[in-house]
Amino acid sequence: MANTFLDLTLLIIIFHFFLTTLSKNLTTILTDQFALLALKDHVIQDPGNVLATNWSSSTPVCNWFGVSCGSNHRKVTALNLTGLGFVGTLPPHLGNLSFLSLLSIKDNSFHGRLPVQLSNLHRMKHIDLGNNSFSGEIPSWLGSLTQLQVLRLYYNNFNGVIPFSLGYLQKLEELSLYGNKLSGSIPSFVFNISSQFYT
């Protein structure tokens, strides 16, 4: 009788652990899916119908066009939507892609300001927003993305000065800012970038 009780207790504990783990993984991938569907909703022109035909809740997120996921955790790690002719804005929900390390949406027509929620993406290593129409000042919160190695903001409508906070990006190897409406002097930290700096 005691062994049966222990076996039952052990079975309940294992089942609870399994459900908790499954629920956590499901919640995470649903969070990623929700963030990407929010991006889809913010794209007002999709000339190739890429998002309409590929991004659907009936298909696993990791199979969506332009989306890459980690092999172990199956969370979104990269978003590459380069040169697809998209017109739209970036939703704040993208800041919930907690494992995202690469964001490349260059050669589109995204506009507006960069949402501050992107500052939550602490695993980010590569951002390429080049050749779009983003505006406003270059956000100082970019300096909080301490894993960042590549930051390309060229050919947009950014104005103001280069934020001093970019000097906190100790791993930065490339900074591309040319083709914007920047003013002021170039901060001294940019000369410490290990590889390339373009203004």
Tell me the per-residue pLDDT of 124-134, one tens digit each, with 9 for 90 and over. Answer: 999 999 999 99
How far apart are alpha carbons 55 and 52 in whole angstroms? 6
**Against a cut of 0.85, is the pTM above it?**
no
pLDDT at residue 94 greater than cutoff 60: yes
Distance set, CA 1 to CA 4, 5, 8, 11 (Å):
5, 6, 11, 15
Q: Is the pLDDT of residue 88 over 50?
A: yes
To the question of domain 2-192 being in CATH 1.20.140.10, the answer is no
Q: How confident is the model at residue 72 (pLDDT cuts 50, 70, 90)?
A: confident
| CA 183 to chain CA centroid, nearest Å | 27
Domain residue ranges in the chain: 2-192
Helix H or strand E encompassing 133: strand 133-137
Q: How many CB atoms lie within 10 A of CB 70?
A: 13
Order of strands across the sheet that contains 43-45 = 43-45, 87-88, 109-112, 133-137, 157-160, 181-182
Round to whole Å and give the CA distance between 75 and 77: 6
Instruction: Supply the pLDDT for residue 118.
Output: 98
pLDDT digits (tens, 9 = 90+) for 161-181: 999 999 899 999 999 999 999
